[in-house]
Structure formats: structure tokens, C-alpha cells
Structure 1
């Protein structure tokens, strides 16, 4: 491969990575705090990914959405079934009961 072709290929690769990587790194910024039962054990998700499902076990009680995304709380694990509540960015809920959570824009 000629030196010029190598330079062009390297530039194209860098351009593709620059365009592709920012979308892959997107996600909520901040923390989501909830409590698992029994025992009211505090759990925290830091900077959770967009549209990724996080199983929470038997979560119940106070929830604080300190992220910049809406938290959708699901009745079942795997973010299946009914959404029991939505918690907007910066909001909290006092009596949330859920088994999984997903963060959306």
C-alpha cells in the first residue's frame, strides 16, 4: 500500500470512529438511588446507559432519580410487563415498587 493510500485510510478510519463513538457513549448522567427489600438496603446506579434494563430485585420504598433521563419502573424483571411508575429527571417517588428500571430520553 502506498504511503498516500495509508494516510487516506487512516484519516477515513479516524472520521468513522469520531462519528460512531459519541452515540455509543450516550447515557444518563447522575445517580439513581432505590431501596431493596427486605432490609431497606440502599442501592445506587451511576450513569446508567440509555434504554438498558437494570434488574433491581425486590425494590420498594423511596426512589431518587438524580439522572438527566426519565426512569421507567417495571413490575417485572427484564423491563417486561407493566410500567408501575415513571420518575422524571431530578424527581423522587416515596412508595415505588418495581423489579427493573430503564432510562429513556
Structure 2
């Protein structure tokens, strides 16, 4: 998705280079309206959709994994040692794990 005129130009140049390569199934141009409908924001301009690709938001994935682990009965305790390093203790159904980071 483009956020400025320079990115709009880069997208257009990229799509131009893709023409005739037989990649239409894998690379689909989107206008600003289509981008807005997909992501729910009018901030962005044109974009490219890769229907066979996926992206993961790392922060959202970590939160979803944490929520699932807690629902499955995993307990954790995060503490800070006197030297400033962090320690994480995890316990789940009879097993324990401790790590420093």
C-alpha cells in the first residue's frame, strides 16, 4: 500500500515490469478505494494484493498465542532480577520452565 507519491510511483513501476510475465494470478493491483474496503482505512493509496501470500502481525500473533496458552491452563510469572535482566517462569500441568532474557 502506498502512503506517498513516491510509493505510488514505485508500485506503478513494479506493476509495469510484471506485465506480460504471466503473474496476474499472483499479483493484483488495487486502487485506493479497494485498499480502503479491505483494510478499513482511507489513509492509504493504491496497493498490490498477493492472493497466495500471507502476512503476520508479530505483536498480534504473540498476544493471540499468550491468550490461547492461558486458556489452556498455562501460568507464567515475569520477574526482574537485581541486575535488570528479566526472568520468565512458565508452568503447565505438572511441568515447569524458567528462562532469562
Q: Which bracket does the TM-score occupy, shorter chain normalised? A: under 0.3
Q: Compute the TM-score of the two structures, normalised by the length of structure 1.
A: 0.24
Q: Compute the TM-score of the two structures, normalised by the length of structure 2.
A: 0.25
Higher strand share: 1
Greater RCO between the two (CA within 8 Å, min separation 6)?
1
